[in-house]
A and B are shown apart, each in its own frame.
Chain A
Amino acid sequence: MIRLVPRQSASNGWQVATPLLAVLATMVMGGLLFAIMGYDPVAAIRTIFWDPLFGPAASYSRPQLLVKAAPLILIASGLAVGFRAGIWNIGAEGQYIIGGITGAAVALAVYPLEAWWLFPAMVAAGLAGGWAWGMIPALLRNWFGASEILVSLMLVYVAQRVAAWMAFGPMRNPEGMGFPGSRNLQQYPSAANPELIAGTGAHWGVVAAALAVLATWFLMSRHIRGFHIRAAGIAPRAARFAGVRPQTLVAFCLGLSGALAGAAGLFEVAGPAGQITDKLGVGYGFTAIIVAFLGRLHPVGILLAGLLLALTYIGGELAQLTMQLPAATVQVFQGMLLFFLLGFDLLTRFQIRRRVSA
């Protein structure tokens, strides 16, 4: 018989090993799934994990890696800070949408003005919009003790309705011949978020994601606020004893993760997406939760996890095109990844021992 024995302290080796193990298990189980569905499992796995980077069409798909990874990393960096403190923002998707809308609103309001300050102002508005959307669950928790998990999640659906309303109503392109959706910001030079270096996919969002990784690393390891956040996550009473006000922490963490998600939304709307539509939210806010955990809530881990998850997006699309795999493949993969990660996490806290007899 096998039995689990709690470890004295979490094992460092397993901390690093479990994400890798989870990726491996996802490949194996995913392959099994494809085999059952009648596809060649080896070809499918190669199409998803290998071809986007090194396959025949890699020159097209490689830049996509940064395009997809940037919002994931940007959002996950903020989420991880809150998760460390035990503050669970599940609604980054909503903050992402609202940030995109408020950021775009600045550009649409002054169209067709060309000015150097327009793009920075849009970024600021995107940050502010996401921050404000994140502050709703923060304040409701601080004032009434409402669960930030539920409130932030429910606000995603509100945000989606707001996006639809904007696309069909106030922000509809007056020259769009009645089609829903705003003006295309990519065709508005002062407002556009262009590819900075041709062929890399790197836009300002990629720069922002890199900065977010650095800044959250600095916050969590060098700044006393980060220390308090970590303390509050493990021992809330000790944090309070140190002088942390739980309400301040809730507002800080939800505000920060909201702002970063909002910025990610803006970079997307001004760049790859180009316009406000009712399909503004494509799930980055939810996938970023997986990125945060897969990256062990550590900035460097998040960087790697963000790239990996971006790969599953691109590879999944590629597999749809070339192998006619169903569109849900990506979600299944991402779900499996989180599932295996949480499952293997058991190993960091417990040891497996074999018992001779019961």
Chain B
Amino acid sequence: MTANVFRAERIGKSYPGVRANDEVSFAVAAGEIHALLGENGAGKSTLVKMIYGLVRPDDGRMWLGDALYAPTDPRAARQSGVAMVFQHFSLFDALTVAENIALGMENPPPRRELAARITQVSHDFGLPLNPGRRIVTLSAGERQRVEIIRCLLQNPRLLIMDEPTSVLTPQEAELLFATLRKLAAKGTAILYISHKLEEIRAHCDRATILRHGRVVDSCDPRAHSARELAAMMVGGEMRAIDRSGRQAGEVLLKVQGLSQPAPSAEGTALKEVALTLRAGEILGIGGVAGNGQEELLAALSGEVRSTPGTVLLDGRDLSTEGPEPRRIAGLLAAPEDRLGHAAVPDFSLAENTLLTAGARKGLVRGGLIDHGGARAYAEAVIRDFDVRTPGPGAAARALSGGNLQKFVIGREVMQDPRVLVVNQPTWGVDAGAAAAVRQSLLDLARKGAGIIVISQDLDELLELSDRFCALNEGRLSNPLSTKGLTLDSIGLMLGGAHGMEEARA
């Protein structure tokens, strides 16, 4: 039994109206990769923020090694040997790798020495990275390496990683785990936050499971199936996904020769995208973020119009039509960004139905809004999709991510679209809500709609789709049947991991 690097004893934290953490006790041993598992809102973030000094616990105590540990801010946490890699990177695009790392250090060494140390650390841990490159030229996986190396240079005793693989291809993720293994072998304790169960089962030594702010269980994740872990997280049996009863019918949507210039400097150009979608079929489109997902959705929803003859629904050319005529024709979409794109944050749920359902649900006639109808439709969506909210008068921003996502998907699904295009339908959504959203898509397909699911969650794509294409730098690959497709082969379709060659060399 190795010594505990970190130990929390009955720590708790309250926010107005919610007990975010309650009597949380757990310990992380040296050399251990310790998973923190829980649904969204289970209290993982609050817990980690307390450990990293961003939030102070209301009660309870923490130890780092043998010393009592009560960081007043992240700087104090770093000085004590706690480092954290956030889900969202804080890097300056215009600066180089070395400059970014120097900015995050208390006393950066001279530039040449720093570059040498970066190269050394990146070599030791199998994280290929050139310190002279500008951040803007790096992939998401490479940017994450910058953050990791920034942490490693401080020789942390405890490294916290918040959902690190959400932006990575499977190959990049493998590379990351190899690094974490090496790090653990040197005695660093790693606290790993994720809700990807397979990943945790494959790589973590222990798991602490949080539910409603409390530790409900602690186990060896390798000894349990993903289903069992999910059941511990949600506190009940997971409903199995029902894929039955669907068969591909006539062609509904045809996209051909769709090319679009990049909408902005950070955007991606679409290049000769072609696809066909049949009734009753779910087409999965995978890819690492920033490879044209948003642009493809915008071209299908009508937010961006394309050259004539590129987007056809039932043989009718909709390429030059905007979103509203497309909806009337039966082509609906749900964008990735729930707040600010799929919904107006300050509007009530009732008002948010008017964003897309005005024509198909008769909520807007002759330009006049039927507020009562909008309210009734919002109520119907809330009921059928089990949206947890006080009612249709609640502002969209007041809903949790998962509940708003259920509302957004429900708003489109209940309009009985002929074709529905969704981008990241379960991103940041807890397991229970994700299952409900996925099942609703399958049910819609069973009724004869065609569905395109754009997602970075490959498990989700394999679970839902009949055929799979990869979107890579704005190009869409030929579709493959998902029968017999493995995560590995999908990973290769996504264009492989950036920097893999260097890593193996």
Contacts and interface: CB of A to CB of B under 8 A. Distances in A.
A238 B398 CA distance: 17
B354 A227 contact: yes
B356 A242 contact: yes
Contacts of A231: 344, 347, 355
A106 B310 CA distance: 51
Nearest to A9: B395
B342 A241 contact: yes
B384 interface: no
Contact of A240 (B303, B364, B367, B397): B303
Contacts of A12: none
A245 B320 CA distance: 13
Contacts of A245: 322
Interface in B322-344: 322-324, 327, 333, 335, 337, 339-344
Nearest to B365: A224
Given A227-B369, A231-B355, A241 B341 contact: yes
B242 interface: no
A256 to B, nearest CB: 15
A235 B351 contact: no
Residue among A10, A222, A239, A241 with most chain B CB within 10 A: A241
Contacts of A243: 302, 322-324, 327
Given A9-B395, A9-B398, A238 B303 contact: no
A234 B369 contact: no
A279 interface: no
B301 A241 contact: yes
Contact of A9 (B335, B343, B346, B369): B346
Residue among B302, B342, B358, B367 with most chain A CB within 10 A: B367
Contacts of A227: 351, 354, 369
Interface string A193-234: 000000000000000000000000000001111010011001
A222 B364 CA distance: 10
B391 interface: no
B355 A8 contact: no
B355 A238 contact: yes
A237 interface: yes
Contacts of B351: 227
B428 interface: no
A8 B323 contact: no
Contacts of B126: none
B284 to A, nearest CB: 22
B322 A224 contact: no
Contact of A235 (B303, B324, B344, B367): B344
B367 A224 contact: yes
Given A8-B398, A231-B355, A242 B345 contact: no
A9 B323 contact: no
A10 B345 CA distance: 12
A227 B345 CA distance: 14
B240 interface: no
Nearest to B302: A243
A225 B364 CA distance: 11
Contacts of B342: 238, 241
A14 to B, nearest CB: 15
A36 B8 CA distance: 63
B323 A242 contact: yes
Given A227-B354, A242-B323, A245-B322, A237 B364 contact: no
A234 B352 CA distance: 13
Nearest to B326: A243
A254 to B, nearest CB: 20
B265 interface: no
B347 A234 contact: yes
Contacts of B343: 235, 238
A116 B80 CA distance: 88
Nearest to A219: B367
Given A224-B354, A234-B345, A241 B369 contact: no
Nearest to A237: B341
Nearest to A248: B322
Given A243-B323, A243-B324, A245-B322, A238 B368 contact: no
A234 B302 contact: no
B345 A235 contact: yes
A241 B355 contact: yes
A7 to B, nearest CB: 12
Contacts of B367: 223-225
Interface string B89-105: 00000000000000000
Nearest to A218: B368
A6 to B, nearest CB: 12
B398 A242 contact: no
A223 to B, nearest CB: 5
B345 A224 contact: no
A237 B340 contact: yes
Interface string A321-352: 00000000000000000000000000000000
A16 B11 CA distance: 42
Nearest to B339: A235
Contacts of A230: 347
B341 A235 contact: yes
A224 B369 CA distance: 6
B46 to A, nearest CB: 17
Contact of A234 (B303, B346, B364, B368): B346
Residue among B302, B345, B355, B395 with most chain A CB within 10 A: B355
A238 B356 CA distance: 10
Contacts of B341: 235, 237-238, 241
Given A9-B397, A223-B368, A241 B323 contact: yes
Interface in B386-410: 395, 397-398
Contacts of B339: 235
Interface pairs A-B: 3 shortest CB-CB: A243-B324, A243-B323, A242-B355
5 contacts: A9-B346, A227-B351, A230-B347, A237-B340, A243-B327
Given A222-B369, A224-B368, A237-B340, 13 more contacts: A9-B397, A223-B369, A225-B367, A234-B345, A235-B340, A235-B341, A235-B345, A238-B340, A238-B355, A240-B303, A241-B303, A241-B355, A243-B302
Interface of A: 8-10, 222-225, 227, 230-231, 234-235, 237-243, 245
Interface of B: 301-303, 322-324, 327, 333, 335, 337, 339-347, 351, 354-356, 358, 364, 367-369, 395, 397-398
